[in-house]
């Protein structure tokens, strides 16, 4: 994600897709109900049925898949570090 950001290739559509995955993770943790998560994405976030199903399936596979939330959190941390002039290499293993 950081490479996409630095190269100017992190599009608004890609960022929206990543954010919707984080929302789906939140819904999974809050509701633990596949159908409710899917319906919330369709009804509250105006996603098409296919996209909502794909995101919901991604999040619920294997009993719960929260890496998308972690990726976005890490991305925010790295961007903040870069903006503050902190060397990213120093954060490896934190």
Please state the pTM of the whole predicted model: 0.75
Q: Is the pLDDT reported for residue 73 higher than 90?
A: no
Q: Domain range spanning residue 53?
A: 13-84
- Residue pLDDT, tens place only, 6-65: 898 889 998 898 899 999 999 999 999 999 999 999 999 999 999 999 999 999 987 766
Domain count of the fold of the chain = 1
- The 3-state DSSP class for residue 85 equals coil
CA 7 to centroid of chain Cα atoms:
19
- Asked if residue 62 belongs to a domain, the reply is yes
Q: Both ends of the chain: CA-CA distance in Å? A: 19
- Asked if residue 91 belongs to a domain, the reply is no
Neighbours of 14 (CB within 10 A): 13
């Amino acid at each position: 994600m950081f490479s996409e950001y630095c190269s100017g290739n992190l599009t608004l559509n890609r960022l929206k897709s990543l954010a919707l995955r984080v929302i789906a993770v939140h819904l999974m943790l809050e509701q633990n109900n596949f159908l409710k998560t899917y319906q919330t994405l369709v009804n509250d976030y105006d996603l098409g049925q296919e996209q909502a199903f794909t995101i919901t399936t991604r999040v619920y596979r294997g009993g719960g898949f929260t890496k998308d939330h972690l990726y976005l959190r890490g991305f925010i941390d790295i961007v903040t570090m870069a903006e503050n002039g902190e060397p990213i290499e120093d954060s490896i293993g934190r």
